[in-house]
Amino acid sequence: MTAVIECKDVKRTYVSGKIEVQALQGVSLNVSAGEFVSLSGPSGCGKTTLLNIIGGLDRPNGGDVRVEDQWLNELSNSQLADLRMNRIGFVFQAYNLIPVLSAAENVGFIMQLQGKSTGERRRRAKQVLDSVGLSGMENRRPAELSGGQQQRVAVARAIASSPAIVLADEPTANLDSKASDALLQLLRQLNEEEGVTIVIASHDPKALEYARRHVRLVDGQIHSDA
């Protein structure tokens, strides 16, 4: 199958004061369309860094990443923003909802950036919120939702604009067991029924059970890929 994500010898070094931290030390990885891949490994192994670079939130010091047919090093910040808006959905550990927007508005926000009409946004937001089990909560603001509900809104936002890829960074870290199961089930359903490529970075063994391919990172390098 065609690789929808291609990482070629990706390196990322952070400098903190006088200390240099090599977060990624030459990672090469191909992810095909429709795969459900987990990234695991100990804290500081570079999971989030790799996810950020794939999503165009960060730039590597060496190597390059291709998402669909675009090499990210060739894109400007504005073009990266376009790529994220149109092709990539993000789910963050800390939910990261916009506090002044309701659940439906948060879900419809990316579509609003895409220039979709109000009616279309409302319909799609309701549909997606229904699918994540949040019927009737469209008008609630993040502060009025539980952690699990907020994370489901975040997932709904990530999938509402029908992205080709969903990148999820520790999506279950702040959820209880029941909410984690529901969320992971939702991601698998999305992957199986809509063919969305999912890359999930997590410590959570349960999260790893849902993925079909497991990539383990240690010290910024791929330790295993199965």
Partner 1 sequence: MGGLKIMAPIAWRNLWRRKSRTLLTITAIAMAVASLIILGAFMRAWGGSAFDRTVEALTAHGQIHAEGFLDDPTVEHAMPQPAGVLLDVLSGQSVAAWTPRIVALALIRSERESAPIMIYGIDPKRESAVSFLKPNAIDGAPLTSATSKGLIMGRSLADRLQVERGRRVVISAQDENGDIAEIGVRVTGFYKGQPDLQKYAVFVSLKEAQALLGLEGEVSEIAFLAPQRDGINVAIEDLKQAAPDLDIRRWDELQPFAKAMIDLAEGANLIWIFVSFVLVAFGLVNTLMMAVYERMREFGLLQALGMKPVLLLVQILVESVYLVVFGALAGAIAGAVTVNAFSGGLDFGHLGIGAEMFGVSQVLYPKVSAAEITVACSIVIGLSILASLYPALQASRRVPVDVLTRAQT
Q: Which residues bind partner 1 (CB under 8 A)?
A: 23, 43-44, 46-49, 52, 55, 57-58, 77-78, 81-86, 90, 92-94, 96, 98-101, 109-110, 112-113, 115, 157, 169-170
Contacts of 118 (CB under 8 A, 6+ apart): none
Min separation Cβ 100 and partner 1, Å: 4
Contact predicate 159/186, CB 8 Å: no
- Look at the block and give the residue holding tokens 């990672």: 27
Q: 21 or 223: whose CB is closer to partner 1?
A: 21
Min separation Cβ 69 and partner 1, Å: 18
Residues 167-179 as b or e (16 or more Cβ within 10 Å = b): bbbbbbbebeeeb
Q: 36 or 92: whose CB is closer to partner 1?
A: 92
Q: 2 or 147: whose CB is closer to partner 1?
A: 147
Min separation Cβ 95 and partner 1, Å: 10
Min separation Cβ 192 and partner 1, Å: 25
Q: CA-to-CA distance for 220 and 218, rounded, in angstroms?
A: 5
Q: CA-to-CA distance for 154 and 93, rounded, in angstroms?
A: 10
Task: Please report which helix (H) or strand (E) contains residue 179, including its range.
Answer: helix 177-194
Distances (CA, A) of 180 to 13, 28, 62, 67, 173: 32, 30, 35, 28, 8
Min separation Cβ 98 and partner 1, Å: 7
User: What is the bridge-based pairing of β-strands 165-169 and 88-91?
Assistant: parallel
Q: 1 or 99: whose CB is closer to partner 1?
A: 99
Min separation Cβ 49 and partner 1, Å: 6
Q: CA-to-CA distance for 226 and 105, rounded, in angstroms?
A: 39
Which amino acid belongs to residue 107?
V
